[in-house]
Structure 1
Amino acid sequence: MTIDLNQFHKVFIDEAHEHLGNMEQLLLALDIKNANLEELNAIFRAAHSIKGGSGTFGFSDIAELTHALETLLDKLRKQILDPTEQMVSAFLECCDLLNDMLQAHQSGNEVDESSIQTMRLRLLELADSDATSDESAFISSIESSEENEGFGFFVDEKTLPAAQEKSIKEEADGFGFFVDESELPAQKTNTVKSSTKQENAKAPAESSIRVGVEKVDQLINLVGELVITRSMLAQSASHLDPVQFEAIHEGLVNLERNSRDLQESVMSIRMLPINFVFGRFPRLVRDLTQKMNKKVRLKLVGEETELDKGLIEKLSDPLTHLLRNSIDHGIETPEVRSAAGKAEEGTITMSASHQGGSILVQIIDDGAGLNREKLLAKAREKNIPLSDNPSDKEVWQLIFAAGFSTAQQVTDVSGRGVGMDVVQKNIAEMKGQVEIESVAGQGTTIGLRLPLTLAILDGMTLRVGSEIFIMPLTRILESLQPTHDQLKTVSGQGRVVQIRGEYLPLIALYQILNLEPEVIDPEKGILVVVESSSGKVALFVDELIAQQQVVIKSLETHYRKVEGISGATIMGDGRVALILDIDKLAKMNSQVASSERTG
């Protein structure tokens, strides 16, 4: 019997990656001096599952390596050997190698045989096992199982006992020796009881299916189109008499409610716990602290907070950069910490929480904090333009300048100034912003504020001349019509507005985007105070129209990249409205003010 097992390979590889992830988490949490037997058993079971699956589907190289891994784990769980730091390091490196092997098999690439054999011998040496005899015994078992085309899982149905018994019954049919067992009273009763038990056993279990991400994306896109169509219908029906067309208006209200519920349900399919990202960082902290001779404890908070899958995938690199920076630049060595009256072990807290319509991810360390004077000196050295008396917030933002680094020497961890600017760029692409707070000698807090999803946006519709724009609602702090006394002009900085003792840059949107406005005097228009990465700014527009939920479309994909614009949407009347990029507009305004000052 020939069976094509390729159809099962993807499922096996996905499940193997999950087992390796669980193994890594358990290994990092393992107490070497007082190992928990149940945890060791759980690690062993994960390795055993990978070994069994790899042998079944013909991945003999993975099966051989996991057999050596299983040999050492078996001696640990039977308490023949005691776990050591060297063993945990070997286990973690073996997990990395197995992940690489799974990726190689999935993509059809070659696997480095020498690294596999080196790891096998290392594991068997730690297990005090005879590598030669162990290998020959295991390989012979694999070869014997491969002689069976079903790898021991699939056999000819004719060889099963039930099939053989059925064959005998059919041959003896009519002789009165064999009857249908279901006709016996006791058997009928047992059959009913058995089926009832099976139904009861299955009832509480949750069922799930694996669905491709592209199918979910297509569904989200269709829901987005439904939201746009609903807006168009509502726009058209707004001109109808509510009394005369009461049924149409009621139907539109129901359509809005149901489409919003549908939209939320579909969006929840893409939501994943942020622990998918957080879960990989305990290993990173362990490896870096050993390399740098530091003591750092990583504390994770809010791992269950859910975020869009697309954002989670893009969040990994920025968080990795920030964590490496906190360990390298933030946390001091044990000797320095002791001299400063701190505990030798530093603490880095990674937290995630919902705040309004966004997610706040924070990296908090209790290290040395940012040095204001050192940052300012480096900025002057690199000719980075700054105001005469910059605020702390402006100074902290210097660390995101390209090529900016205050490290005394370049290491393989950091020091080249190419990490933090990538962080800000990646977060900006996710429609998020970076916030920094720091106190010298006490530590630094870096916050990443992100939207819940990249597909739907709650925004404020505003107008400049004949153009309609969308402002992300989460960025708006307040709106006002200024008085003459609030408006000032500062030499070298352009126009500002005074709001409760605070001077904010005034950005005339029509000037930045080269538009024909209806109102030129800010006293007759509206100022919208928004939060940018560099601080608060006041955006001058003609009119605020309404709060509205919109579907985000990529302007770059359908047209081209436009400075100060992060995307586009289709309004209810069919017009295209542009979504404003607050951070970019603030930078464009400061560049204009800087050029006027130097000119």
Structure 2
Amino acid sequence: MSIDMSQFYQVFFDEAEELLAEMEKLLLAVNIAEPDSEDLNAIFRTAHSIKGGASTFGITDMSDVTHFLESLLDNIRKGEMAITSEHVDAFLVAKDILKMQLNGHKFGAEVDQEAVADVRMMLQSLAQHSVTKIAPPPKVEKAVPKNSKEQYKKCYRVEFPKVSETDLETLGEELSLLGDISKEALDDHRFAFVLNTNAVPDDIIAICSFILDPEDLFITEIAIANIPPREANEDELGYGFFDPIEKPGDEQPDEEKLGYGFFEPIDPAFALDRTPGELMKGLPAKSENKSDKAEHAQLNGSAEHHTATKKDGDKAAGNQESTTIRVGIEKVDQLINLIGELVITQAMLEQRTATLDPLEHERLLSSIGQLTRNTRDLQEAVMSIRMMPMDYVFSRFPRMVRDLASKLGKKVEFVTYGASTELDKGLIERIVDPLTHLVRNSIDHGIEMPQVRLAEGKYEAGKLSLSASHQGGNIVIEVSDDGGGLNRDRIIAKAREQGLVAPDNMPDADVWQLIFAPGFSTAEVVTDVSGRGVGMDVVKRNITNMGGVVDIRSAKGFGTTIVISLPLTLAILDGMSIRVGEEVYILPLGYVVESLQPVADDIKVISGKGTVVKVRNEYLPLIALHQLFEIKAKYTDPCQGILVILEVDGKQAALFIDELVGQQQVVVKNIESNYKKIPSVSGATILGDGCVALILDVSALLRTTR
């Protein structure tokens, strides 16, 4: 039977990415002064799992790097050498190399072999300072374990079927991590290992299962003091799937009860004879863009990490069913599109039954109402599948903050809040770059040098925080530092140099907005970190394109906080239907402040500038939608129509329309992919009567008034 190995390669790639991310997170959190043994063991397990998976599929370049990494980590976790910041730096570099190699196998990306060789030499150099020899582990030929009686409590004899010398050497290296090991030759060109260890048979089976089928192993427990071995039968071993059965008289379970037979054994030669690229040809093509790094949505929780070794406390959990499944994001998007069509169909039914007699058609109208409620609940449930925690974004920054602070000679304490807050996947991928700019600017411009902070009575380590929270129908993300704050005078002076209007009595909120001007920078020296003025304007534009707003709060000497407010999703929004002439448009409800009908005395025409309307002693620019779109309107006098007050970035304007139609939830359709970009229009939707309505881009509308 031929086996499609591509699906297994995909699982390995996905799990390796998760393990690498977990490794980086653990390395950044390790306390060098007093390392936690559990953290060190967890770091070791991630490296060991990556190595085992890479070896299984014949990805030797990754297994070679993880071999050196794993050996160093093993000596550290055993207390044979102390972990230092130099080790952490080296391990982080090795993690980057492994990520590069993984992308090379997954996407066919280029791998810098010189960088790979450099990291191997670096790990070997660190190993030379170890108490024990690190790598490569020698082949053991009937070696006598030293002090095995004192170090280890158990001894196992592990017999193998016929395997290649390479596989046997690999098994010896892996099992040597569990204790002292020696090799014995058996009949029929087979071999056995004698292992003195504190591990359990499950650990031995977990390691060997990367190369062999558990059914082909024969493990017996022997006494360390050469007591005749007591053979362990299959019931006692359980092959790692079940706890050992204590009563030897119990009936031996057959293969169905043990749980075998799910898959036929995979021939290792099949995988080793083929490259990952050849086996992945049947998979959908994948982009190398940053937005494609999160290729699967997680349902009902986060993905579990399965490691090669087990803890005793994990046995019960191992028998429980998994509470998560991995689903391709394209399937989730398809489901969301179908729910969108269902929402449109439900709106059509509701509109067509609105004119029916409630008494005569009571049962039908009641059913339509029930359908409306169920559709709303279903839509919210499906949309929640697409939501991802902000930890997906936040987890990228600890490493960046650490490296950048070290490069600039600063000390930065980085903290995050609300990492479990969820945001639509489409938005969460697009917010990464803007947040990266803001974090880099906070470290470079905001937080002072340690000696400067001490002179000002601050702690030498600056504090940088990232937080996320839900407020109404939006998510609010804050980037905050306790640095020197924005320099009002320098910003105004720089703005005037660039020809921007910046009067002395300008409010602080408006002064801070000047830093978003294209090409604006107050950096005195241009570096590879900042100073070219390309960053903050990109941040503002990207966030505006996502329907969000940016606000800045700053106090000199106390720090700066940049607040980003985004809608939770762009797939479905609450909108206000408005009519101009025969056309119906949709206004996103989040931008609507109020609606009113003005009197003639409140309307003023400014020669050469346009029309304004007085609202609560403040004059707002008036936008006549029929003039902007060049359509025939029912009313041309604002006093006869309706004005809708809109607000974006603290700026308000009045939109002149004929009438309000109502408020409804609309499914956003991308108009550019089906037609082309239309000025002042962000998308389209289908109304209950089947007509297409354009969704107005409120930010673009207000820009036309400036």
Q: Is the structural similarity TM-score above 0.5?
A: yes
| Distance in 1 of aligned mates of 2:535 and 2:139 | 49
| Distance in 1 of aligned mates of 2:606 and 2:502 | 15
Q: Which letter does structure 1 place at the counterpart of 2:394?
A: F
| Distance in 2 of aligned mates of 1:458 and 1:340 | 49
Distance 1:571 1:95, change over 3 A: same
Q: What is residue 573 of structure 1 aligned with on the other side?
A: 689
Matched-pair identity in %: 53
| 1:317 Cα offset (Å) | 0.8
Q: What is residue 246 of structure 1 aligned with on the other side?
A: 362
In terms of fraction of residues, the more helix-rich structure is 1
Q: What is residue 369 of structure 1 aligned with on the other side?
A: 485
Q: What is residue 256 of structure 1 aligned with on the other side?
A: 372
User: For 1:559, which of 660, 675, 681 is the aligned residue?
Assistant: 675
Asked whether the equivalents of residues 121 and 131 of structure 1 are also in contact (C-alpha less than 8 Å), the reply is: no
| Distance in 2 of aligned mates of 1:17 and 1:450 | 28
SS in 2 for 1:579: strand
The CA deviation string for residues 104-144 of structure 1, in whole angstroms up to 9 with x for no partner, is: 11113443322222111211221226989617759975685
| Distance in 1 of aligned mates of 2:584 and 2:502 | 33
| Distance in 2 of aligned mates of 1:388 and 1:542 | 41
| Distance in 1 of aligned mates of 2:614 and 2:485 | 31
Q: What is residue 353 of structure 2 aligned with on the other side?
A: 237
Distance 1:362 1:190, change over 3 A: same
Asked whether the equivalents of residues 167 and 211 of structure 2 are also in contact (C-alpha less than 8 Å), the reply is: no
| 1:555 Cα offset (Å) | 1.3
In the alignment, is residue 31 of structure 1 matched against residue 31 of structure 2? yes
Distance 1:443 1:518, change over 3 A: farther
> Matched residue pairs, number?
565
SS in 2 for 1:403: coil
Asked whether the equivalents of residues 208 and 214 of structure 2 are also in contact (C-alpha less than 8 Å), the reply is: no
Give unmatched runs, 5+ long, in structure 2. Answer: 141-163, 172-189, 191-206, 219-248, 260-315
Q: What is residue 176 of structure 1 aligned with on the other side?
A: none
| 1:479 Cα offset (Å) | 2.5
Q: Could you state the TM-score of these two structures normalised by the residue count of structure 1?
A: 0.86
User: For 1:440, which of 538, 553, 556 is the aligned residue?
Assistant: 556
In the alignment, is residue 266 of structure 1 matched against residue 382 of structure 2? yes
Asked whether the equivalents of residues 124 and 131 of structure 1 are also in contact (C-alpha less than 8 Å), the reply is: no
Asked whether the equivalents of residues 53 and 210 of structure 2 are also in contact (C-alpha less than 8 Å), the reply is: no
Distance 1:140 1:490, change over 3 A: farther
| Distance in 1 of aligned mates of 2:512 and 2:165 | 63
Q: What is residue 55 of structure 1 aligned with on the other side?
A: 55
Distance 1:12 1:186, change over 3 A: closer
Farther off after superposition, 282-291 or 391-400: 391-400
| 1:442 Cα offset (Å) | 2.4
| Distance in 2 of aligned mates of 1:369 and 1:143 | 62
The CA deviation string for residues 354-407 of structure 1, in whole angstroms up to 9 with x for no partner, is: 111111111112222223332233233223456896443333222222222121
Asked whether the equivalents of residues 330 and 367 of structure 1 are also in contact (C-alpha less than 8 Å), the reply is: yes
Q: Which letter does structure 2 place at the counterpart of 1:299?
A: V
| 1:254 Cα offset (Å) | 1.4
Q: What is residue 342 of structure 1 aligned with on the other side?
A: 458
Distance 1:579 1:304, change over 3 A: same
| 1:203 Cα offset (Å) | 7.9
SS in 1 for 2:102: helix
Asked whether the equivalents of residues 394 and 534 of structure 1 are also in contact (C-alpha less than 8 Å), the reply is: no
Asked whether the equivalents of residues 145 and 151 of structure 1 are also in contact (C-alpha less than 8 Å), the reply is: no
Q: Residues 377-526 of structure 1 correspond to what in structure 2 (within 5 A)?
A: 377-384=493-500, 390-484=506-600, 486-488=602-604, 494-526=610-642
| Distance in 1 of aligned mates of 2:577 and 2:536 | 33
Asked whether the equivalents of residues 68 and 120 of structure 2 are also in contact (C-alpha less than 8 Å), the reply is: yes
| Distance in 1 of aligned mates of 2:641 and 2:340 | 33
Q: Residues 537-556 of structure 1 correspond to what in structure 2 (within 5 A)?
A: 537-556=653-672
Q: What is residue 303 of structure 1 aligned with on the other side?
A: 419
Q: Residues 9-20 of structure 1 correspond to what in structure 2 (within 5 A)?
A: 9-20=9-20
Q: Residues 141-290 of structure 1 correspond to what in structure 2 (within 5 A)?
A: 141=166, 153=210, 187=251, 205-290=321-406
Asked whether the equivalents of residues 352 and 361 of structure 1 are also in contact (C-alpha less than 8 Å), the reply is: yes
Distance 1:151 1:534, change over 3 A: same
Q: What is residue 104 of structure 2 aligned with on the other side?
A: 104
Q: Could you state the TM-score of these two structures normalised by the residue count of structure 2?
A: 0.73
| Distance in 2 of aligned mates of 1:38 and 1:469 | 59
| Distance in 2 of aligned mates of 1:481 and 1:136 | 87
Asked whether the equivalents of residues 334 and 344 of structure 1 are also in contact (C-alpha less than 8 Å), the reply is: yes
Asked whether the equivalents of residues 60 and 142 of structure 1 are also in contact (C-alpha less than 8 Å), the reply is: no
Asked whether the equivalents of residues 512 and 588 of structure 1 are also in contact (C-alpha less than 8 Å), the reply is: no
SS in 2 for 1:249: helix
| Distance in 2 of aligned mates of 1:477 and 1:369 | 32
Distance 1:17 1:385, change over 3 A: same
| Distance in 2 of aligned mates of 1:477 and 1:112 | 55
SS in 2 for 1:342: coil
| 1:224 Cα offset (Å) | 0.4
SS in 2 for 1:554: coil
| 1:251 Cα offset (Å) | 1.8
| Distance in 1 of aligned mates of 2:216 and 2:40 | 39
The CA deviation string for residues 36-94 of structure 1, in whole angstroms up to 9 with x for no partner, is: 11111111111111111111111111111011111111111111111111111111111
Q: Which letter does structure 2 place at the counterpart of 1:85?
A: S
Distance 1:575 1:54, change over 3 A: same
The CA deviation string for residues 207-238 of structure 1, in whole angstroms up to 9 with x for no partner, is: 33221111111111011011111111111111
Distance 1:204 1:480, change over 3 A: farther
Q: What is residue 582 of structure 1 aligned with on the other side?
A: 698
SS in 1 for 2:594: strand
Report 1 or 2 for greater relative contact order, CA contacts < 8 Å, sequence distance ≥ 6: 1
Distance 1:188 1:57, change over 3 A: closer
| 1:549 Cα offset (Å) | 0.3
SS in 1 for 2:654: strand
SS in 2 for 1:325: helix
Q: Which letter does structure 1 place at the counterpart of 2:136?
A: D
Q: What is residue 180 of structure 1 aligned with on the other side?
A: none
Asked whether the equivalents of residues 5 and 57 of structure 1 are also in contact (C-alpha less than 8 Å), the reply is: no
Distance 1:409 1:221, change over 3 A: same
Asked whether the equivalents of residues 400 and 424 of structure 1 are also in contact (C-alpha less than 8 Å), the reply is: yes
Asked whether the equivalents of residues 460 and 546 of structure 1 are also in contact (C-alpha less than 8 Å), the reply is: yes
Asked whether the equivalents of residues 512 and 585 of structure 1 are also in contact (C-alpha less than 8 Å), the reply is: no
Q: Which letter does structure 2 place at the counterpart of 1:350?
A: L
